[in-house]
Amino acid sequence: MDLKGQIALVTGGSRGIGRAVVLTLGRLGAEVMINYRENQSAAEEALKQLLTERGSGQLYPFDVAVEGQVEEAVKKIVDRHKKIDILVNNAGITSDNLLVRLKSEDWDRVIGVNLRGTIHCTKAVCRGMIRERYGRIVNLTSVVGQRGNAGQSAYAASKAGIIGFTKAMARELATRGITVNAVAPGFIDTEMTAKLSSKIQEEFLHSVPLGRFGTCEDVAEAVSFLVGPGAGYITGQVINVNGGLYM
């Protein structure tokens, strides 16, 4: 697969799944715009790795939850590169607590970053894709948005919202040559899941038919397939990368 000449924007690209997506798309020849919010040293390290592997790209710090920041950054990218071909809405946060204990600020922040952030970036980027009559959008959802999880109501709602949004956008943008799909990871070994207690991690592992947690690369492979030429007839789908945890 060759993504040479394509411009990609990956939100939350400084670590975890986002970083693996950045490096995979870079290896395939895309020029990758790495978004991050506050972890500058991790973002610089991801860029350094990308350049070491003979990829190319730049850093774009902004908060996906703030529409003005998203629009400004997208304008800068388009001014410089003329277009964005690939958008990977990866930035995401959790705030885990039983609903009765979850503060409304925490609820709003999770919806603000995960769901509204995905909407802000899609809205800002798809205008140019519509002009170009080409685009590939991949949204990171989660198995938790498909089957729920006690103590993750805000996260589950945000990720289920992303699935509905993905299908609506797939229908809205189909005639413009733009595909919109979602990738739903199960339990992936990252800093996000490292925060879970070892008891919860063990419970998850027992319910994974393939008997292991996923890697960031497992998810990046599915994302790179969806943005490549072989996936031109796939839109509005949720691709599960979960070791069989949810079927």
Task: Provide the annotated active-site residues.
Answer: 155
Nearest approach, Cβ of residue 30 and ligand NAD (Å): 19
Helical packing angle, 216-227 and 16-27, nearest 10°: 50
Pattern 129-148, binding to ligand NAD, x per CB under 6 A? -----------x-x------
Contact call for residues 218 and 177 (beta carbons, < 8 A):
no
The C-alpha atoms of residue 232 and residue 243 are separated, in whole angstroms, by: 25
**Near ligand NAD by CB under 6 A: residue from 25, 30, 34, 90:** 90
Taking the alpha carbons at both ends of the chain, their separation in whole angstroms is 28
Pattern 186-215, binding to ligand NAD, x per CB under 6 A? -xx-xxxx----------------------
Nearest approach, Cβ of residue 186 and ligand NAD (Å): 6
- Using rule CB under 6 A, residue 63 touches ligand NAD: yes
**Near ligand NAD by CB under 6 A: residue from 7, 24, 28, 36:** 36
Pattern 98-127, binding to ligand NAD, x per CB under 6 A? ---------------x---x----------
Burial of 197 (0-12, 13-18, 19+ CB in 10 A): exposed
- Using rule CB under 6 A, residue 39 touches ligand NAD: yes
Pattern 169-188, binding to ligand NAD, x per CB under 6 A? ----------------x-xx
Contact call for residues 159 and 219 (beta carbons, < 8 A):
no
Smaller CB separation from ligand NAD, 48 or 131 = 48
Smaller CB separation from ligand NAD, 115 or 178 = 115
For residue 228, give the amino acid letter. Answer: G
Return the SS3 of 85: coil
Record the tokens describing residue 243, joined without a space.
Answer: 């070791």
CA quadruple 77, 225, 170, 84: dihedral, nearest 10: 10
Nearest C-alpha neighbor of 207 from the set 133, 130, 149, 154: 149
Question: Rule CB under 6 A: which residues touch ligand NAD?
Answer: 11-12, 14-18, 35-37, 39, 63-65, 90-93, 113, 117, 140, 142, 185, 187-188, 190-193
